[in-house]
């Protein structure tokens, strides 16, 4: 028997890396999963990789019309939601003196505005007792050069969780933040070798995290194993932000 038998989950930006690994694990644990991705080809590959109990809906979490289409699909196919992993987000490397208005608006538009409306538009379909997990980052608590805009956008999610758990308490919907450290994903493959080596040197075990390690953390936060965890931020970073 799986930990999420009979549950319906929505995961945004789940065509690769951490979110795709999470979608696979949640299906293995009995959930039916709806995933999104901006590019149809990558979305089709992700659906094939998950294999069963999955629906892919093309869309951008920063686009409110796309979110409406996502939830209309969920409503039509399943009628309800138990789990939401708001995973969509993006980073950047802008030092304070070179941040542009466009960079700021793009980062906050997806990471903050997109997350807010991803959650808000899901609420009419949410069953009482559900679980919302937002994809944060240790950049919100650990100062990193060039990460001020990204870190601030992720810090906003921590604030959302504190407020939303109070607003949703009567429905017993839990809201938590999962904040990863450096993870060995396709996005990390494009990082300069010296950056990856620097991250490794800062992590106590001297290895980047794996997408599967993120997936198990999200499973914990979305299952009854974490029934008494609400409004928290779980750092999944190998200890990097703790030392």
CB 240 within 8 A of CB 181: yes
- Residue 168 neighbours by CB distance under 10 Å: 19
The angle at the Cα of 90, spanning 87 to 95, to the nearest 5 degrees, equals: 145
CA distance 109 to 37: 17
Write down the catalytic residue from 32, 71, 80, 150.
150
Residue 80 a catalytic site member: no
- Coil, helix or strand at residue 54: strand
Label the pairing between strands 126-135 and 81-86.
Answer: parallel
Per-residue tokens: 10: 């929505």
CA distance 238 to 170: 35
CA distance 214 to 187: 15
CB 28 within 8 A of CB 54: no
Alpha helix (H) residue ranges in the chain? 17-28, 40-50, 64-77, 101-108, 115-122, 148-167, 186-189, 193-202, 211-222
Backbone angles phi, psi at 83, to 5 degrees: -135, 135
- Coil, helix or strand at residue 27: helix
Residues that are catalytic = 150
């Amino acid at each position: 028997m799986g930990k999420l038998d009979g549950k319906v989950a929505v995961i945004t930006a789940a065509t690769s890396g951490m979110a795709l690994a999470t979608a696979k694990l949640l299906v293995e644990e009995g959930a039916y999963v709806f995933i999104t991705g901006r590019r149809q080809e990558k979305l089709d590959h992700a659906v094939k990789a998950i294999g069963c109990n999955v629906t892919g809906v093309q869309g951008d979490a920063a686009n409110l019309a796309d979110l409406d289409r996502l939830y209309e699909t969920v409503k039509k196919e399943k009628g309800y939601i138990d789990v939401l992993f708001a995973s969509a987000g993006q980073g950047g490397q802008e030092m304070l003196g070179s941040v542009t208005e466009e960079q700021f608006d793009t980062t906050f538009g997806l990471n903050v505005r997109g997350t807010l409306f991803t959650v808000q538009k899901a609420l009419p379909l949410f069953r009482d007792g559900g679980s919302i997990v937002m994809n944060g980052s240790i950049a919100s608590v650990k100062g990193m050069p060039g990460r001020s805009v990204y870190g601030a956008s992720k810090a906003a999610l921590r604030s959302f969780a504190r407020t939303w758990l109070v607003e949703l308490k009567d429905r017993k919907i839990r809201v938590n933040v999962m904040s990863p450290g450096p993870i060995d994903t396709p996005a990390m493959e494009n990082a300069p070798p010296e950056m990856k080596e620097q991250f490794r040197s800062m992590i106590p075990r001297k290895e980047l995290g794996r997408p599967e390690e993120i997936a198990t953390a999200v499973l914990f936060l979305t299952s009854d194993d974490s029934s008494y965890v609400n409004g928290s931020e779980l750092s999944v970073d190998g200890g990097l932000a703790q030392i």
